[in-house]
Structure 1
Amino acid sequence: MNENTILIPGFDKPVSRVALGTWAIGGWMWGGPDDDNAVRTIHRALDEGVDLIDTAPVYGFGHSEEVVGRALAEKPHKARVATKLALDWKDDHKPFRNSSPARIRKEVEDSLRRLRVETIDLEQVHWPDPNTPIDETARELQKLHKEGKIRALGVSNYSPEQMDIFREVAPLASVQSPYNLFEREIEKDVLPYAKKHKLVTLAYGPLCRGLLTGKMTVDKTFPESDLRSGDPKFQKEHFKDYIAAVDDLKAIADRHGKSLMVLAIRWVLDQGPTIALWGARKPEQIDGVSDVFGWQLTEQDKKDIDAILTRHVPTPISPAFMAPPARKV
């Protein structure tokens, strides 16, 4: 194992610290699917040494998992697949939380079929369900783990208190949370907890839904079908401040001869033990993965980054808008 890889508890070998995020590949809330391009994107990621693919049933309501399954079946690989469960939906395709034991078992079976695998490498509870006791959720997952259908268990969007309850029933290998230069709430609790209990943190949204690519301008708009149309950061009154911060952050990236996107990913990795989920839906969006490794931010870089954020975004906006509702009981 080197600084480019990390061992998730329960795995027999380390995986790359940059994983491919496949929310956009599912199409839902990202302008619709483009399957052939998505398959080429996954293959490109594998060629670049990315050997962990993160997906979920709710990404396109099964579609992302199907595309991942197809892509991995078409190309020899040694990749591991992380997926999620505990989001349900009806015909209106409006997700809600459901981590009941029956739902969990059904989702695991459905994911195995869509991914074309016999064992899910990392199964994560997507969101805590306030209407199902956490120990019931953990107990059903532990059964599936013992049945050989799951290699390792993780949670997503859980608090330390919720993880404590889960860990009383089943072993926990990882936690997945939103984490990037603009969204740092987990530094208060989740990240220290993960370090203390030797959990790997999968950071989703490390590019803050495209903000940290450095390619947006203040006049950029988003259609209603785009997730960002509902994100307060991308609304006119706040967007200009975030773009101003992005413009200043580019100077830090320039010090190292890197793109802002690479800087943003490197920053996440420097907070370790972390894996950054690099979201992409086109092969060219994989460009830059190799530039993430082989260097680190200096302490002065980190101080300058914090100063830029304090100057332009003194009151950061949380990613809470993404939270799905609880199910009706």
Structure 2
Amino acid sequence: MEYTKVSDLDFEISRITLGTWAIGGWQWGGTDEQQSVDTVLEALEMGVSTIDTAPIYGFGKSEELVGRAVKEFGNREEVQIATKFGLQWDDDENVRRNSSRERILKEFNDSLRRLQTDYIDIYQIHWPDLQTNFRETANTLLQLLDSGKIKAIGVSNFSVEQMEEFQQYAPIHVAQPPYNLFERGIEHDLLPYCNEHNISLLTYGALCRGLLSGKMDEDQEFQKGDLRRNTDPKFQGDVFKNHLDAVEKLKEYAAEELDRSVLGLAVRWILHKGVDSAIWGARRPEQVTFDEATGWELTADQVKEIETIVEEMVEDPVSPAFMAPPE
């Protein structure tokens, strides 16, 4: 496993981060709890030291399972837990943004309890809350940082303009936007901005909800409750087929030119592009094949060839904006 320093802080994260949205079950057709715990343990045993979760992932379920696994693993100081706040839900699973001081402190204490820990390594605003002044949110996070209850402040799904406004009141150490071969919007502004300002990039969606795993076909069936069944536009009709065709071309290139899997190619490409750590989601221990993307490099020519394949096969990229909760 490869590791990298977080911003200007005195700790490191692994360059592959285990993503745990799916093990929460919500929008993924449910979860197998023991299998999920075993998956986290498998990743930690492999050398992955960083785990990304959030309260909204299963309405606390993902955090609970991560907490169980980390406790069983032991060596809490060797694990970096990245979790989030700022999404509030009701009994009917209606979600809205709320990054007020009161909400942050409630979520923070709830997360500590579920994660069975007394501090959080990277604490991130899940989505920008435009109804709450950034000063209020930033000041609350600064207090948590100064007290040692969190080690780094992060933002997720923020624009450059929102990050600049937030930084008037508190530093940003980590940014978490979506990024993969099919979702490259951050290349225009956010990625160079973070690189220039020493903000660590912890990007999500490395495999684009499984599309880039190379294991899907047109007959793929998704369980009831899985967002890919009816909601995610990349998995519908001709758009799905178009992306699958692109994956097949990438799979051929990976095998013939690199002697690698398409899955390994997709994640290594992200790491090559200036990203500090790519979030790779897994639900079963056998999906923890993170070593496929570590310990080797792509050349500039190979990166160009890979991007050309995608650009020629997917003429009208679909953004991941459909995942945004109501403002």
Structure 1 length-normalised TM: 0.95
1:148 deviation in Å? 2.1
Which residue does the alignment assign to 1:196?
A: 196
Say if 2:155 and 2:176, in contact at 8 Å, map to a contact too.
yes
Distance, in Å, in 2 between the alignment partners of 1:188 and 1:256 is: 28
| Partners of 1:190 and 1:12 in 2: CA distance | 24
Do structure 1's residue 58 and structure 2's residue 71 form an aligned pair? no
Determine helix, strand or coil for the equivalent of 1:25. helix
> What CA distance in whole angstroms lies between the structure 2 residues aligned with 1:54 and 1:7?
16
Q: Do 2:30 and 2:225's aligned partners in 1 also have CA atoms closer than 8 Å? A: no
Per mean C-alpha deviation after superposition, the further-off stretch among 58-67 and 250-259 is: 250-259
The answer to whether the Cα contact below 8 Å between 1:10 and 1:151 also exists between their aligned partners in 2 is no
**Is 1:303–2:300 an aligned residue pair?**
no
Cα distance between partner residues in 1 of 2:291 and 2:69: 21
Asked if 2 retains the 8 angstrom alpha-carbon contact of 1:26 and 1:64, the reply is: yes
Structure 1 residue 274: Cα displacement? 2.3
- Which residue of 43, 46, 57 maps to 2:41? 43
Q: How does 1:149-188 map to 2 (within 5 A)?
A: 149-188=149-188
Partners of 1:23 and 1:263 in 2: CA distance: 22
User: Counterpart of 1:164 in structure 2: which amino acid?
Assistant: E
Paired AA for residue 306 in structure 2: I
Structure 1 residue 224 displacement after superposition: 4.4
What residue ranges of structure 2 are gaps of 5+ in the alignment? none
> 1:10, 1:152 within 8 Å by CA — same for their partners in 2?
no
Cα distance in 2 between the residues matched to 1:221 and 1:146: 48
Q: Provide the rounded CA distance (Å) in 2 between the counterparts of 1:9 and 1:268.
A: 18
2:221 and 2:286 map into 1 onto residues whose CA distance is 22
From 13, 16, 22, give the equivalent of 2:14: 16
Where 1:145 maps in the other structure, the secondary structure is: helix
Stretches of structure 1 that go unaligned for 5 or more consecutive residues are none
> Distance between the aligned counterparts of 2:2 and 2:278, measured in 1?
11
Question: What's the secondary structure of 1:178's corresponding residue?
Answer: coil
Give the letter for the 1:76 counterpart: G
Alignment partner, residue 276 of structure 2: 274
Q: CA separation of 1:306/1:273 partners in 2, compared to 1, >3 Å: closer, same or farther?
A: closer
The aligned amino acid for 2:247 is V
Whole-Å separation in 1 of the counterparts to 2:212 and 2:275: 21
Question: What is the aligned length?
Answer: 323
Cα-Cα RMSD: 1.3
1:116 aligned onto 2:109:
no
**Which residue of 1 is the match for residue 24 of structure 2?**
26
Q: How far has the Cα of 1:173 moved from its partner?
A: 0.5
Give 1:9 deviation, angstroms: 3.2
> Relative to 1, partners in 2 of residues 1:233 and 1:273: Cα closer, same or farther, differing over 3 Å?
closer
Asked if 1 retains the 8 angstrom alpha-carbon contact of 2:29 and 2:224, the reply is no
Identical aligned residues as a percent: 51
Displacement after TM superposition at 1:296 (Å) = 1.3
Confirm or deny: 8 A CA contact 2:121 2:150 kept in the other structure.
Answer: yes
Instruction: Tell me the residue number matched to 2:136.
Output: 136
Write the distance in 2 (CA, Å) between the matches of 1:274 and 1:245. 26
Contact 2:13 2:277 in 1 (8 A): no
Q: Which amino acid aligns with 2:263?
A: M
Cα deviation, 1:132-153, whole Å, max 9, x if unaligned, reads 1222211111112222211110
Quickly say closer, same or farther: Cα 1:105–1:127, change in 2 above 3 A: same
Quote the Cα distance in structure 1 between the aligned partners of 2:305 and 2:296. 17
- 1:256 deviates by 1.6
Shift of 1:116: 1.1
CA distance in 2, matches of 1:271, 1:56: 26
Q: How does 1:256-267 map to 2 (within 5 A)?
A: 256-267=258-269
Residues 205-224 of structure 1 correspond to what in structure 2 (within 5 A)?
A: 205-224=205-224
| Letter paired with 2:61 | H
Query: SS at the partner of 2:315?
Result: coil
Q: Distance in 1 between matches of 2:159 and 2:106?
A: 25
Q: Which moved more, 1:109-118 or 1:316-325?
A: 109-118
Return the alpha-carbon distance in structure 2 between the equivalents of residues 283 and 271 of structure 1: 28
Equivalent residue number for residue 98 of structure 1: 98
CA–CA separation in structure 2 for the residues paired with 1:297 and 1:252: 13
* CA–CA distance in structure 2, aligned partners of residues 36 and 11 of structure 1: 34
